Amino acid sequence: MSRFSLLTAALVFSGLSAWAAPAPVAPPDSIGVEYRNNKLLIRHRVTAGETIYGLSRRYKVPVEDIVEANSGQKGQLNLGQIVLIPRTRVVLTPAPATAARPATSTVAAPAASVRALPTDANGNRVYKVTPGMTLYAIARRFQTTPAELARLNGFAADHSVRVNEVVIIAAPATGAAGPPAPVVAAARPTAREKAVARDAEREKARDEASSPAVTPETKDTSAPAPARVNEAGRRVTESGLAMVIPTDASDKYLALHKTAAVGTIMEVRNIMNGQAVYVRVIGRLPDTGENDKVLLRLSKRAVQRLATPDQRFRVETSYVP
């Protein structure tokens, strides 16, 4: 009787001990655990879209350990496949409730399109200044620089735009480049043209030989250079300083000149950048005050076309009297 009581007590005690012993707890997204070679392995059933790399991140286990525990599997996982995950630390992140949405990149809204701006008579894209706008704000709005706007409009570097002032944003050359222009071979001069050119060179040499020498101390570089006349075409070429007509309010290419007749069509070229414009002489430039050292004055529109920020700039003129 005593032996039976002792046996019963031993069985009860062993059962209570087994019930009280802690059992390995499987993560909520697995189907259980197992022991192999004294190592705890989590059994995970593969769902749609899962990879070994994704399981490595979820369970915080190196990819190499998962590959080793699954007989070197490195390829794509199959839906419903059981993958063994070596448990080296406490499982951290459970599977998300919903699939993560792919990140969508947001692109900042572009600045106002230059192509939406109106054009002037020369094909330039222009903007009419609104209250509160500055040259810097306009440049930032149309993705350009204040220096470029100053160049296109002939402004000074510190120019302050005014309300309702028209500002050139882009010249026609800033658009898509068209097909390349055909290359035209220059025509060879005729015998008569060669003879005229030789006579002109001889005449120029005689003038230089007979004119008095000018030293650097006595030479006035600000005064307009004397006119050169091409005997073949009677074309007059001059060089000197140009300024803007202060009272000009037109949008045409006009000029005041000291000697050219009213109505003369004259080519004016900016010596600094090579920009050129054709202007029409509308009056005589008086040789008084500031005009003493100036060859001609141009309308504001013509100065903008020459793309200079200076108040006084050197030009070369060419016209037929």
User: Tens digits of per-residue pLDDT, 61-83?
Assistant: 888 888 888 877 767 888 888 98
- Quick check: is 4 in a domain? no
Q: In this structure, are 299 and 258 located in the same domain?
A: yes
Q: Mapped to the 3 state alphabet, what secondary structure does 73-135 carry?
A: CCCCCCCCCEEEEECCCCCCCCCCCCCCCCCCCCCCCCCCCHHHCCECCCCCEEEECCCCCCH
Q: What is the pLDDT of residues 139-194, one digit of tens each?
A: 888 889 988 988 999 888 778 888 999 999 988 854 433 444 444 444 566 666 66
Cβ contact 117:127 at 8 Å:
yes
Q: Per-residue pLDDT averaged across 272-290, rounded?
A: 89
CA 70 to CA 85: how far, in whole Å? 8
Average pLDDT, the chain: 74
- Quick check: is 158 in a domain? yes
Q: In this structure, are 235 and 312 located in the same domain?
A: yes
Q: What is the pLDDT of residues 242-264, one digit of tens each?
A: 999 988 888 889 999 988 999 99
- Quick check: is 155 in a domain? yes
Percent over 90 (pLDDT), the chain: 21
Q: In this structure, are 37 and 76 located in the same domain?
A: yes
Confidence at residue 55, expressed as pLDDT on a 0 to 100 scale:
86
Adjacent-strand bridge partners of 298: 244, 255
Confidence at residue 208, expressed as pLDDT on a 0 to 100 scale:
53
Q: How many domains does the chain have?
A: 3
- A 10 A CB-CB count for 307 gives 19
> What pTM does this model have?
0.32
Q: In this structure, are 288 and 315 located in the same domain?
A: yes
∠ Cα 277 281 285 (to 5°): 115
Domain that holds residue 282: 223-319
- Quick check: is 183 in a domain? no
- Quick check: is 281 in a domain? yes
CATH for 56? 3.10.350.10
Q: In this structure, are 236 and 302 located in the same domain?
A: yes
- Quick check: is 190 in a domain? no
Q: Which of 65, 96, 127 is the last residue of a domain?
A: 96
CA 299 to CA 286: how far, in whole Å? 16
What the block records as the tokens of 273 is 């950048």
Q: In this structure, are 84 and 128 located in the same domain?
A: no
Q: In this structure, are 240 and 285 located in the same domain?
A: yes
- Quick check: is 182 in a domain? no
7 pLDDT above the threshold of 80: no
Q: In this structure, are 245 and 299 located in the same domain?
A: yes
State in Å, rounded, how far the first CA of the chain is from the last one.
147
- Quick check: is 70 in a domain? yes
Q: In this structure, are 67 and 120 located in the same domain?
A: no
